[in-house]
């Protein structure tokens, strides 16, 4: 069964540090997404990515966030200067019709 893989599974960082979360989507998929879930809350959309560019982003996805697909397989989410409120589970998804989610990367900002 095809799967989306995410690394790291858990990262602890100090406030103000840069964090890169990585995702390997399913190889023949063209649409990629990042979502986040703050503890105890529902999953929220961050950004969608198609044809090597952002197709939609939410209000949450401000200038401290960026996404790229550096090598045709990995799909990364960068948070430039982390804040306490960035502590959440971050999910990558790929597909479009049926969606495939990664296991998530838990980010803890101290």
Partner 1 sequence: KNEVEQSPQNLTAQEGEFITINCSYSVGISALHWLQQHPGGGIVSLFMLSSGKKKHGRLIATINIQEKHSSLHITASHPRDSVVYICAVQKTSYDKVIFGPGTSLSVIP
Interacting stretch for partner 1, rule CB under 8 A, among 19-27, 39-47, 62-70, 75-83? Answer: 39-47
Q: Which CA distances in Å does 6 have to 35, 62, 78, 94? A: 13, 22, 13, 12
Interacting stretch for partner 1, rule CB under 8 A, among 18-26, 40-48, 63-71, 79-87? Answer: 40-48
Residue 85 has φ and ψ, to the nearest 5°, of: -75, -5
Q: Which of 56, 64, 85, 110 binds partner 1 (CB under 8 A)?
A: 56
Interacting stretch for partner 1, rule CB under 8 A, among 16-24, 66-74, 75-83, 85-93? Answer: 85-93
Can you tell me the distance from the alpha carbon of 76 to that of 8, in angstroms, rounded to the nearest whole number?
11
| DSSP secondary structure code for residue 81 in this structure | S
Can you tell me the distance from the alpha carbon of 65 to that of 63, in angstroms, rounded to the nearest whole number?
5
- Of the pair 20, 31, the CB lying nearest partner 1 is at 31
* Residues of the shown chain interacting with partner 1 in the complex, contacts defined by CB under 8 A: 31, 33, 35, 37, 42-45, 48, 50, 56, 58, 89, 91, 93, 96-104, 106
């Amino acid at each position: 069964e095809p799967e989306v893989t995410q690394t790291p599974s858990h990262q602890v960082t100090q406030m103000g540090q840069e964090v890169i979360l990585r995702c390997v989507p399913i190889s023949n998929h063209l649409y990629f997404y990042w979502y986040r879930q703050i503890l105890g809350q529902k999953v929220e959309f961050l950004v969608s990515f198609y044809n090597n560019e952002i197709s939609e982003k939410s209000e949450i996805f401000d200038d401290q966030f960026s996404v790229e697909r550096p090598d045709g397989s990995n799909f990364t989410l960068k948070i430039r200067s982390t804040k306490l409120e960035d502590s959440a589970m971050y999910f990558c998804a790929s597909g479009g019709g049926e969606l495939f989610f990664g296991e998530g990367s838990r980010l803890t900002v101290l």
